[in-house]
A and B are shown apart, each in its own frame.
Chain A
Amino acid sequence: KQEVTQIPAALSVPEGENLVLNCSFTDSAIYNLQWFRQDPGKGLTSLLLIQSSQREQTSGRLNASLDKSSGRSTLYIAASQPGDSATYLCAVRERGGSNYKLTFGKGTLLTVNP
């Protein structure tokens, strides 16, 4: 059974700091991994999708890496801003019989202080 873990559960940083969020998964047989942002009480906004054959993806100040063999992904946020404050979730889509669904971690709550 696929399990996704995100560390840390919460992170508070001053504005301007570079930071890394971690995601690990137990079964490396995946199609892709997605990083999402969730504001309080809101839906999920897709930030980055990394295919299993890719090592990293970049969008603006965000860079996500994937090491499928070790079951790890990181989301790097450069020059953090107060507007980056949100919960960040990672999710994997497995190969095999359960490829119709995403398995999520519990998320990392990020607070960027002005």
Chain B
Amino acid sequence: DAGVTQSPTHLIKTRGQQVTLRCSPISGHKSVSWYQQVLGQGPQFIFQYYEKEERGRGNFPDRFSARQFPNYSSELNVNALLLGDSALYLCASSLQGMGNTEAFFGQGTRLTVV
């Protein structure tokens, strides 16, 4: 069975540009969450979607947005990129949206803003 898949694996963008990252959850999982991990830190929560609705949002500016599609895949969009947005972006999939549920992560997308 395929695990959580993210695309692309790496990309380089210029300050001010926009970027879209993609995630496909494990088959049967209805929840997708996004995390940002900067070097030397633990992942920080950005968004959680369950059944195509946003259920949670972390402390990130409005430049960050996301959505979940009917097939439960998800996109994370970041507008007006800043150098500080350079990080590893991780997608997590889980059966339930909240409560006592286990999270499974993808391999991440490494975003470099120059």
Q: Is A98 an interface residue (CB 8 A)?
A: yes
Contact A4/B107 with A31-B99, A101-B58 known, Cβ cut-off 8 Å: no
Q: Is A19 an interface residue (CB 8 A)?
A: no
Interface residues of A in 2-44 (CB under 8 A from B): 4, 31-32, 34, 36, 41-44
B41 touches A43 (CB 8 A): no
User: How many pairs, one residue from A and one from B, have CB atoms within 8 Å of each other in the complex?
Assistant: 72
A4 touches B42 (CB 8 A): yes
B33 touches A100 (CB 8 A): yes
| Number of interface residues, chain A, beta carbon within 8 A | 27
Interface residues of A in 84-103 (CB under 8 A from B): 89, 91, 93, 98-103
A46 touches B103 (CB 8 A): yes
On B, residues with C-beta under 8 Å from A are 4, 6, 33, 35, 40-45, 48, 50, 55-56, 58, 88, 90, 92, 97-108, 110
